[in-house]
Amino acid sequence: MQLKPEFKQNKYRTHTTSMLTESNIGQQVKTSGWVENIRDHGGIQFVDLRDHYGIVQITFQQNAELLTNIHRECCVSIGGEVIKRAADTVNDKITTGKIEIMAQSLEILGDISENLPFEVTSSKETNEDLRLKYRFLDLRNPAVHNAIVYRAEVIDFMRKTMQEMGFLDMQTPILSASSPEGARDFLVPSRKHHGKFYALPQAPQIFKQLYMISGFDRYFQIAPCFRDEDARADRTAGEFYQLDFEMAFAEQDDVIEAGEYVLSKTLERFGISANTAPYPRLTYAEAMLTYGTDKPDLRNPLFMKDLSDLFTNSDFKPFADKTVRGLRVPGMAEKSKSFFKNMEEFALSIGMKGLGYVTLEQDMTFKGPIDKFIDDKTRAELKTRMKLQVGDVLYFIADVGKTADIFAGQIRAELGNRLGLIDPKKFEICWIYDFPMFEEDERGKPAFSHNPFSMPQGGKAALDPESGDIFSVKAYQFDVVINGVELASGAVRNHSNEIMARAFEIAGYSEEDLKSRFGALYNAFKYGAPPHAGMAYGVDRLLMLMLGEDSVREVIAFPLNGNAQDVLLSAPSEVTEQQLREVHVKVR
């Protein structure tokens, strides 16, 4: 990070570590920071002094008494002369590696009164809850510190890119109303309105649509979103941020083009090597059939094909009249029996009843547990359809409907990892589109599969009961996927009360429900709502991928832990009876 020109000297420092170069040799300087390390080399003491910008070595050659009562991580201001390091002591790993400061004065600005709970420079090896309890120390670790600096720079670049495209940086409220958007709300009791609650927004969805109806053309913000969900490696419990944007008078391709531009420019600016835009586009149906997931990792070269028709009237009951997917694994026949056994155990662990396979031998015959259940005609068709070569393994995944795809996707992912087929340094990006408008819930009833405010393809006519299977209706919805991680979701929005009422009716909501729960949109749609569309990138997830971290919490300055607790500030916490009375709440 470069210093701004307005940096001024003061009593604490004349220079930061980023300002110190060989041009300062012979000058008197003062710099401030934290003592990272204290070393004694034959009577000469050295201190590695760390500030926000880097590290500089301080030499205490004739005035070691200055180090009395100095401890690692205490905050100090040190003055002295900049000198050139001896050639054999140059440290090319730091920007100040060719110079050091000969200390002449030292002032303790912030002392250490307790033992350090962990080694700051290796804090990432410490238990996560301990790191988060002392996050202010953890954030001094250069690796952790630099991740937050990186976050600020990436967000700043994304903001500027959106502004260059004509989007206005606008804000939406934090205190809002509860709405069924797919996750639990965080509720805030009202003091002035007895028995009523605000909700923290799961997303700026309704407000950004209202911006479009208000006559604004292009909106964006780095928006905080709040969802009461369990944490995962790529999802925080509670709060996350997204680059949210919306466009008036826009179609699906307009949003995809804008989203593609900001993402590709951001990755290019920060030196991330990725497949170039325009990114591949896969329909939801294609993704599920080929990769067994709507979040495919395209770094994995394995893919599936439909073999259901070959086993429609099969005597082999596990395949008969089932959805059957074939997964070809080139050259895998040489693997040990234990490898195949371990894969079968994995299949059983995820709920499959077994994992059938055959190998193609040198004489072009099949060998394997289920070869005896396959007739010659089917064998010939399998060789052709799956383009099998000698040494290949063909796995069969069979089950009812969509379950077969999901199992096949899990087997594909596991094989990719076990066989080392995935390059961790690659970024493979794609779009998934044409999502179904509805999916079956646990009762077999229609429920929104994606964003409930999306426009169905075909408009109201597509939602007509006489038009056919409601589960076959597609919506103008699309996702961005990077390396198997869903990074963004978007949609063309519904801007018609008639269509919205019908869509919500199918999902089990009455028009009165619609009016009471989404009254603002319902009312606004009566006053000339324009067609509009938008999407949102998960900023935390993007940063996690860009920095190669395994957990999204590594790129957030003060995250909740995996159990949705702030162990730094001890939240959630109990409050007083008086506070509860003020907001008319009784704990049961």
Query: What does the alpha-carbon distance between residue 362 and residue 382 come to, in Å, rounded to a whole number?
Result: 16
How many other C-beta atoms lie within 10 A of the C-beta of residue 182? 14
Q: What was the pLDDT predicted at 518? A: 87
Query: Which helix (H) or strand (E) covers residue 348, if one does?
Result: helix 337-349
How many other C-beta atoms lie within 10 A of the C-beta of residue 491? 24
Confirm if 388 and 422 have CB atoms less than 8 A apart: no
Cβ partners under 8 Å of residue 408, min gap 6? 292, 304, 325, 327, 397
What are 197's two structure tokens?
């609650």
Closest to 249 in 3D by CA, of 492, 478, 470 = 492
- Burial category of 146 from C-beta neighbours within 10 Å (exposed 0-12, middle 13-18, buried 19 and up): middle
In the chain (588 residues long), the average pLDDT of successive 10-residue segments reads: 71 94 96 95 89 95 85 96 94 94 95 94 95 97 97 98 98 89 87 94 94 98 94 90 98 98 98 95 97 97 95 88 95 94 96 94 92 92 95 95 94 97 95 94 86 91 81 95 97 94 90 87 95 98 96 96 94 94 92
> DSSP assignment of 353-399, as one string?
S--EEEEE-TTS-EESTTGGGS-HHHHHHHHHHTT--TT-EEEEEEE
Instruction: Note the pTM of the prediction, 2 decimals.
Output: 0.92
What are 144's two structure tokens?
């952790």
Exposure string for 4-22, b = 16+ CB within 10 A, e = fewer = eeeeeeeeebbbbbbbbee
